[in-house]
Amino acid sequence: MMKKSLKPFRDIIALALGHLTVFKHVFKRPVTLEYPEKKLPLNDNFRGEHALVVDNEGKLLCTACGTCQRVCPSFETIEIEKEKNESGKFYPKNYTIDLNKCIFCGNCVQYCPFGAIIMTKEYELADEKKSALKLDINTLKKNYSDSIIKKTVKSKR
């Protein structure tokens, strides 16, 4: 224990040390990341905008089974128009995901039996119109090819 009479001196030393500690930070590099120009690296399992996987022949892997609709926790987010092709297989004629309702939980990706839907690393989704956030089948295909070009997802080709 220190004597009580020494307390003021101890306090003054503590104050000086505190100032010194703060002053040291002048020489450190700022931790600021200037966002629009530089971005943080994203994790591998980042859940961004959706994309429909297209195989080598340019066909969708999706069979319009409706599993994604059933596991989706939010209401009427995914809408699928089913249709049969010549060989008797089902394919989605139209496939819409409403990002206004989507909560980006990733259930649709996890439960898809064919691995036909994935999530890209695109997260800057703000738009002036609400309708722009309703992704139709063409947008979803385009998202896939875009993210292949940007190498944010591994190609399944």
Which amino acid does the sequence have at 101? K
Cβ contacts of residue 146 below 8 Å, gap of 6+?
A: 120, 122
Contact letters (x/-) for other proteins, 87-126, by CB under 8 A? ----------------------------------------
Give the nearer residue to other proteins in terms of CB position, either 21 or 45.
Answer: 21
Interface residue with other proteins among 22, 40, 126, 149 (CB under 8 A) is 22
Q: Which residue, 18 or 115, has its beta carbon nearer to other proteins?
A: 18
- 19 lines the binding site for other proteins (CB under 8 A): yes
- Residue 135, H or E segment: strand 134-135
Q: Are 64 and 90 in contact, with CB atoms under 8 Å apart? A: yes
The label of the residue with tokens 């309703």 reads 134
- The correct pick among 18, 105, 132, 138 for binding other proteins (CB under 8 A) is 18
Binding track, positions 34-73, relative to other proteins; x by CB under 8 A: x---------------------------------------
Which amino acid is it at 152?
Answer: T
Residue from 2, 4, 6, 28 that binds other proteins (CB under 8 A)?
A: 28
Contact at 8 Å (CB) between 153 and 147?
yes
For other proteins (CB under 8 A), the number of binding residues is 14
- What are the structure tokens assigned to 95, written together? 């496939």
* Least Å from the CB of residue 18 to other proteins: 5
Instruction: Judge whether 64 and 91 are in contact, CB under 8 Å.
Output: yes
Cβ count near 147 (within 10 Å)? 21
Question: Applying CB under 8 A, which residues contact other proteins?
Answer: 15, 18-19, 21-23, 25-26, 28-32, 34
